[in-house]
Amino acid sequence: MKSTEWRVRLVLTEEDGTTRARVELDTGGRSLTGRGRARCSPGDPDVPVVGDELAAGRAMRDLAGQLLRLADHDLAGAGVAPPEPERRTVYGWASEPA
């Protein structure tokens, strides 16, 4: 049996109606950072936890994409064709460029 621990840190900040999330992954040999943002539109109800959830989820999705691209690169380096990219449906509040 093998056990490995990777450390993850998630930081949320809010300013001027925009919530920003930064998720940092430390594998012991590599560090990656995912980023996400969410902005409450003027007509939307002010529910701060929703902005936190969306920004954090987007940051984690960004981090997940980085990990999958690294795995694809490592697979290609081992002579194994990486799998076809996944297609995802985006929902929720509009995502702003990082």
Q: What are phi and psi of 9, to 5 degrees?
A: -130, 130
Tally Cβ neighbours within 10 Å of residue 89. Answer: 4
Beta carbons of 52 and 13 less than 8 angstroms apart:
no
Examine residue 93 and state whether it is found in any structural domain, yes or no. no
**Maximum average pLDDT range among 1-15, 38-52, 74-88:** 1-15
What is the structure's pLDDT at 83? 59
CATH of the domain at 45: 3.30.160.240
What is the structure's pLDDT at 44? 82
What is the structure's pLDDT at 94? 55
What is the structure's pLDDT at 95? 53
Examine residue 86 and state whether it is found in any structural domain, yes or no. no
What is the structure's pLDDT at 72? 85
* pTM for the full predicted model: 0.76
Tally Cβ neighbours within 10 Å of residue 37. Answer: 19
Examine residue 33 and state whether it is found in any structural domain, yes or no. yes
Examine residue 96 and state whether it is found in any structural domain, yes or no. no
In whole numbers, what is the pLDDT of the chain averaged over residues?
A: 85
What is the structure's pLDDT at 31? 95
Domain range spanning residue 55? 7-77
Examine residue 90 and state whether it is found in any structural domain, yes or no. no
Q: How many domains does the chain have?
A: 1
